[in-house]
Amino acid sequence: MRLAPLLLALAVTAPALAASRETRIPDAALATAAQLREQALADRTGWNVVESLTTEIGPRLAGSEADAKAVAWAQAKFKALGFDKVWIEPVTFPKWVRRSERAAVLGEHAQPLTVTALGGSPAGTVEAEIVRFADLAALEAAPAGSLAGKIAFIDYQMTSARDGSDYRNGGAIRSKGPSAAIRKGALAFLMRSAGTDNHRVAHTGITRFDEGLTPVPSASLTIPDADQLARLLQRGPVRVSLALDCGWDGEYTSHNVIGEITGRSLPKEVVVIGAHLDSWDLGTGAIDDGAGIGITMAAGHLIGQLKRAPKRTIRVIAFANEEQGLHGGKAYAAKHLGDIARHQIAAESDFGAGRIYAFNTGAPDHARKATEQIAQALAPLGIEYAPGKGSAGPDISPFAAKGLAWAWLAQDGSDYFDLHHNADDTLDKIDPAALAQNVAAYAVFAYLAAEAEGDFGSQLKE
Amino acid sequence: MRLAPLLLALAVTAPALAASRETRIPDAALATAAQLREQALADRTGWNVVESLTTEIGPRLAGSEADAKAVAWAQAKFKALGFDKVWIEPVTFPKWVRRSERAAVLGEHAQPLTVTALGGSPAGTVEAEIVRFADLAALEAAPAGSLAGKIAFIDYQMTSARDGSDYRNGGAIRSKGPSAAIRKGALAFLMRSAGTDNHRVAHTGITRFDEGLTPVPSASLTIPDADQLARLLQRGPVRVSLALDCGWDGEYTSHNVIGEITGRSLPKEVVVIGAHLDSWDLGTGAIDDGAGIGITMAAGHLIGQLKRAPKRTIRVIAFANEEQGLHGGKAYAAKHLGDIARHQIAAESDFGAGRIYAFNTGAPDHARKATEQIAQALAPLGIEYAPGKGSAGPDISPFAAKGLAWAWLAQDGSDYFDLHHNADDTLDKIDPAALAQNVAAYAVFAYLAAEAEGDFGSQLKE
């Protein structure tokens, strides 16, 4: 609020000022970007990176031994890809461990159920009748105490969409369902996986328990298992046993891993692209988010291979522990807050490996022209300019909330929630051609943002 | 061989005899079959049966508690569906139990692997280097003793086909691979699942160990896990730990469950249709073989609803323990061998829930005309007559080897090996419309075979 009088003064003279400070991208840079785009489409670096990460490290749950291996891997990979500067920055967070999980229907229709603990769930063994709710609102509407001695079961089926929009509901059930269940007196929480597949692979993901509540064992069922419970409930009461061995176990310090291609004339100004290095433990983290690591490392590498470095520095960040609370993104924002104005713009790739279909930035009007120029350079990749749409990627969002300019490269997520946070998130699900299209888009975007004359509006919000 | 002179004598006068005993189906029966076909397409009984079995019993491994529940379920279901006579016949077999299974890559690239024990595998824990073979022939060609201290890994990828023809290779690896591995000195056996999916669900199935060999722990990897091992092997030697707790545990007596719609004029002559009641333990046995149970129970039921019973009896058999060695089929053949000539013809539904696309019988020339008539009645269902093709279904095959006439109703198995013997074999994979087409085909076939004037050649082979 301290700057309000000054901003008002600027606004009065806005037309003249806007003209003088409108951000633009030089024609020479646009020509180079067109070459870069075609090179990227023919290049295998993105694929090679995600193949290496998912094969050599595999699952890399934040705080696990594989977390440390992934940090070492990322440093080595940045160096091998010719990045000029490579370093790590510490990220400390509570460590959650999964040991075992088991569930079954009891009684007349006894049979095993396939479940997975939600991240953050405590350990515990419960045998009780389940009570089904169609969605989170239905559970929240249940009378207080009505679930005493019972297991709450939210049976909401997510629908797939290119933009993954129904994760709004599926994700909310996972994050808020357990606390809602506890408030009604439930002993445990079960949910139909927040997913769109029909396989016996349960979808995990972090949950949280509201302050003052005593956490209860919380797990998700595979979609066929949820179907099964729903059918059994049509026949009468259903008792279930749930045995989870998992929980919080001290603190762990991992690292954001950062690689840079140094800018030629404004090396202290940076364009940030990145992805998160951690994954859930059930798959090998190919689409979430090995793909993003491959896409952004490859884009940085290809820019680094240009005969002439871009004007500004390209900074690629492999964020630590996105999955359990954007820990890497928060740590980066906290550490670099004072440098916010030197951050030209930032974009994260964290929505799988599907083709990018739309582009926008959250930049103010004076950077609209440059945004349009980047969109034009992306158009041959089948990417639409989508003014007014988009948001910052997860690890960018804590910094964006402070005023960092962000770009949005929207991936087709039609199959993302088939694979999200489950054992099926493996390399074979990635289409190398679609991945290369992503690399091309990130390379073009990052290069052009680095070459822009003018900024995209990053400044500290008061 | 005792009958050879008589057969020769018959052959001499064959033209006259063949004309007099050519099997034919009366026009009135063909008209009724057309109505039956349309009724079946509009009927939900097949779906309701498989829904009931897979929901109320779920997985029903031969010898498990659920096996006994399934036998009780089948008796009750036959009665509820109006079968005139319902009884059980004992089937005794060795019981195999799965308790736990675990595998992991060791060392630098340490990560868990998703495996499942092959049926018949002993328990055991092994840590050793794996040696990859492209197929069974490659393992068999390895020098004797060359796998001492190692784990054999056959990495053969099955391809999908409408007729499932590549199961010839995948199935052979599962049944013969472990013994081949032992002969080369291996400590354990791993295989890429005999499947065509790309999910983290391993395919089980029975294996056998040749006489005189000491069985070793034997398991299959999911297809993405096999991909992963293959990629890791490109980087150097790979050590794996495999810990299976499973094995043979005494004998168990289950039952074939039989229901009949009594014939109106030749009640002691039977047309047999059936499927197997047991399943593997990983899924709920929907496509293998709940679908077949639903199809054949529903077909019998619909014939039973006709105003006039068919000339011969319709016998529907829910066979015990097909999966571990055709135990139910062998027991049925042994018990009913003396009645073989009263068995008009038999067909088993055991290849999933896909639409039937072809029909044939193994009947001799004198029943060719009747076979063609049935094929014509099936044609409106999109089913082709396929002379010269087909074979007896698994539980029919022991009896067919003794001379029982068989029919072949070929299902589209393009997705069968996505789901076969794995956790994904659940009800949601069945298309109710395709299932109804199967019911219609079995009802038409069984009804017309029961109405035929003349036989399909069942007689004891000497």
pLDDT digits 0-9 by tens, A284-317: 999 999 999 999 999 999 999 999 999 999 999 9
Q: Do the Cβ atoms of B63 and B250 come closer than 8 Å? A: no
| Chain centroid to CA A100 | 26
Total number of domains constituting chain A: 2
Pick A231's closest partner by Cβ from B55, B198, B228. B55
Interface contact flag, A201 B198, Cβ < 8 Å:
no
Chain A residues whose C-beta is within 8 A of a chain B C-beta are 51, 55-59, 65-66, 105, 108-112, 114, 198-201, 223-224, 227-228, 231-232, 235, 283-284, 422-424, 426-429
Contact A222, A202 (CB under 8 A): yes
Residue B140 amino acid letter = E
Of the residues A216, A248, A280, the one at which a domain ends? A248
Contacts of B47 in chain A (CB under 8 A): none
Q: List all residues 6 or more positions away from A456 whose beta carbon is below 8 Å from its beta carbon.
A: A23, A344, A345, A361, A363, A364, A367, A370, A371, A405, A449
- CATH (domain of A126): 3.50.30.30
Residue A5 lies in a domain: no
Mark B231-249 as b/e (b = at least 16 C-beta within 10 Å): bbbeeeebbbbbbbbbbee
Peptide bond between residue B281 and the one before it cis (omega within 30 degrees of 0): no
A257 and A276, same domain (yes or no)? yes
Does residue A287 sit in the same domain as residue A414?
yes
Instruction: Please check whether residues B308 and B238 belong to one and the same domain.
Output: no
Helix B291-304 to helix B65-80 angle (10° resolution) is 20
pLDDT of B11 higher than 80: no
Task: Determine whether the interchain pair B200/A65 forms a contact, defined as Cβ–Cβ distance below 8 Å.
Answer: no
> Which of A54, A55, A279 best probes binding to B when mutated, by most B CB atoms within 10 angstroms?
A55
**A421 falls within a domain:** yes
Look at residue A315 and tell me if it is in a domain.
Answer: yes
Residue B39 to residue B439: CA distance in whole angstroms: 10
> Which helix (H) or strand (E) covers residue B250, if one does?
strand B239-261
Measured between CA atoms, how close is B224 to chain A, in angstroms? 7
Q: Report the C-alpha gap between B410 and B36 in whole angstroms.
A: 20
**Chain-chain contact of A423 with B56 (C-beta, under 8 angstroms):** no
Tokens coding A384: 């639409």
B193 lies in the same domain as B266:
no
User: pLDDT band at A13, cuts 50/70/90?
Assistant: very low
- From B57, B228, B428, residue closest to A227, measured CB to CB: B428
pLDDT tens per residue, range B397-408: 999 999 999 999
Check whether residue B109 and residue B234 sit in a common domain: yes
A201, A228, A426 member nearest B55 (Cβ): A228
Dist. CA B325–CA B327, nearest whole Å: 5
For residue B347, how many C-alpha atoms fall within 13 Å in the half-sphere facing its CB? 34
Beta strands in B371-453 (DSSP E): 384-385, 407-411
Among B236, B223, B251, smallest CA distance to B93 is for B251
Alpha helices in B305-415 (DSSP H): 327-336, 368-378, 397-400
Average pLDDT over residues B193-214: 98
ipTM above 0.85, yes or no: yes
- Regarding whether A443 and A364 lie in a shared domain, the answer is yes
Does A270 lie in the same domain as A144? no
Contact residues on chain B for A111, CB-CB shorter than 8 A: 57-59, 66, 284
Question: Amino acid letter at B356?
Answer: I
Name which residue leads in pLDDT, B378 or B462.
B378
Rounded mean pLDDT, A375-393: 98
- Cβ-based contacts of A55 with chain B (< 8 Å): 109, 228, 231-232, 235
Q: What are phi and psi of A95, to 5 degrees?
A: -100, 130
Asked which of B195, B217, B249 is the last residue of a domain, the reply is B249
A144 lies in the same domain as A166: yes
Does residue B156 belong to any structural domain of this protein? yes
Domain identity same for A321 and A280: yes
In-domain check, residue A74: yes
Instruction: Say if CB B203 and CB B95 are below 8 A apart.
Output: no
Contact between chains at B228 and A426 (C-beta distance less than 8 A): yes
Query: Would you say residue A16 has pLDDT above 70?
Result: no
- Asked whether residue B284 is assigned to any structural domain, the reply reads yes
Question: What are the chain A neighbours of B109 within 8 Å (beta carbons)?
Answer: 55-58
**Domain boundary residue, one of B197, B217, B249:** B249
Question: Token pair for residue A80?
Answer: 């091998």
- Residue A5 CB: number of other CB atoms within 10 A? 9
Task: Check whether A15 has a pLDDT greater than 50.
Answer: no
Same domain, B296 and B437: yes
Q: Domain holding A280: CATH number?
A: 3.40.630.10
The C-alpha atoms of residue A445 and residue A437 are separated, in whole angstroms, by 12
The range of the structural domain enclosing residue B102 comes to 96-249
Does residue B421 sit within a domain?
Answer: yes
Residue B3 lies in a domain: no
Statement to judge: residues B347 and B200 lie in one domain: no
**Residue of A221, A227, A228 for testing the chain B interface, max B β-carbons within 10 Å:** A228
Tell me the percentage of chain A whose pLDDT exceeds 90: 95
Statement to judge: residues B134 and B224 lie in one domain: yes
